[in-house]
Amino acid sequence: MNQDAKTRSQRAVRQLLESWQRSGVTYLRQMEPVSQMSADVPSVVEAPQEKPVQTVAPRASFPPQSIVPPPQSTETPEEPTLESDQARKEMSVPRTTKSKMNKGDRQAELEIIASQVSQCTKCPELAETRTQTVFGVGNPRAKIMFIGEAPGADEDKQGEPFVGRAGKLLDKIIEACQLKRSDIYIANILRCRPPGNRNPSDLEASNCRGFLDAQIEIVDPDYIVCWGSVAAKNLLHSDLPIGKMRGDFYEYGRAKVVCTYHPSYLLRNPSAKKNVWEDMIYLFADMGIDLKTQD
């Protein structure tokens, strides 16, 4: 196992342990496969070390200078991404191998989790005040996954994330990126509307985290966009403001994560739209797609 593979394994175990701590759930009987990864992986009985969010790419100036691929290196190439057709067994383990599950199987897995969500009463206040749960929508094999904070009044009525004013603005951003809403998978930190559209509490986010991790595992995106500080804080455990997190790639499992302003923030601060567009250019440049011609 080369150094990059060891680093990925260590990161995956750390994220797994932190997720268990947040949810208060233990799955020690499931830990045998993890302990076989490498002798360099921390023991599962050790308390996870608090570490800052890890970036996987340097901060770039905007717009990116070029998206032309660099010359081919003469060095030994990285190990290819491993693939797995094993369905997930738990809800708190970030994936480090590429899933081979077909679209139909992924949709079926998501529907099972959605059914569990619809019956969830872990947060009594949310369960009592919601009209319905808001699970997630989109392509179950999407390359890009969007994560927002929580449903609002319109989402609570319709049962779909990002359908209010902020959702309409998000649709325009998606269209500007030459994509359709159905090309992306969209979810939130919470699946119930907090009364008064307040921010999710830490306990509520923790109670709902297993469902989010399940969605990430099943969809298995290459890229995740955290829309707003609530999404970034809860996914990446960072208290940095979005303004300082922009322009970097972060890692969650095998996905690269970009953080940018929430569409509702753009409605209040229209001048920040150019910042979000820069973030989209940065993201798509990494995919080999030039959005600068759409400026």
Determine the pLDDT at residue 65.
33
Look at 7 and 266; give whichever has higher pLDDT: 266
Phi-psi region of 220 (alpha: psi -120 to 50; beta: other; left: phi over 0): left
pLDDT band of residue 75 (cuts 50, 70, 90) is: very low
Q: Tell me the pLDDT tens digit for each residue of 202-254.
A: 999 999 999 999 999 999 999 999 999 999 999 999 999 999 999 999 999 99
Q: Report DSSP letters for 30-76, one per residue.
A: G-HHHHTS-TTSPPTTSPPPP-PPPEEE----SS-S--SPPPPPSSP
Quick: pLDDT tens for 170-184: 999 999 999 999 999
pLDDT at 294 exceeding the cut of 70: no
The C-alpha atoms of residue 223 and residue 249 are separated, in whole angstroms, by 9
Q: Write the DSSP string, the chain.
A: --HHHHHHHHHHHHHHHHHHHHHT---GGG-HHHHTS-TTSPPTTSPPPP-PPPEEE----SS-S--SPPPPPSSPPPPPPPEE-PPP-SSS----SEE---HHHHHHHHHHHHHHHHT--SSHHHHHH-SS----EE-TT-SEEEEES---HHHHHHTSSS-SHHHHHHHHHHHHTT--GGGSEEEES-SSPPGGGPPPPHHHHHHHHHHHHHHHHHH--SEEEEESHHHHHHHH---S-HHHHTT-EEEETTEEEEEE--HHHHHH-GGGHHHHHHHHHHHHHHTT---GGG-
Q: Is the model's pLDDT at 165 over the cut of 60?
A: yes
pLDDT greater at residue 246 or residue 40: 246
**pLDDT at 157 (0 to 100):** 96
pLDDT score recorded for residue 92: 54
pLDDT at 97 (0 to 100): 84
Q: What is the pLDDT of residue 293?
A: 74
Please give the pLDDT value at position 1.
Answer: 56
Rounded Cα gap, residues 37 and 34, in angstroms: 5
Looking only at the bridges linking them, the beta strands covering 83-84 and 98-99 are parallel
Q: Which of 53-57, 86-90, 156-160, 186-190 has the lowest mean pLDDT?
A: 86-90
Tens-digit pLDDT profile for residues 77-94: 444 444 444 444 344 556
For the cut 70, the answer to whether the pLDDT of residue 14 exceeds it is no
Q: Residue 50 above 90 pLDDT?
A: no
Predicted pLDDT of residue 128 = 97
pLDDT at 107: 97
CA 79/CA 124 separation, integer angstroms = 47
Residues 6+ apart with CB under 8 A from 197: 150, 152, 153
What pLDDT is stored for residue 80 in this prediction? Answer: 44
Degrees to nearest 5, angle at CA 159 with 153 and 161? 75
pLDDT surpasses 50 at 155: yes
Alpha-carbon distances, residue 124 vs 24, 76, 130, 195, 215 (angstroms): 17, 54, 10, 12, 23
Q: What is the pLDDT of residue 110?
A: 97
Q: How confident is the model at residue 39 (pLDDT cuts 50, 70, 90)?
A: very low
Residue pair 100/170 in contact (Cβ under 8 Å)? The answer is no
pLDDT at 44 over 50: no
Question: Nearest Cα to 14, choosing from 174, 263, 249, 251?
Answer: 251
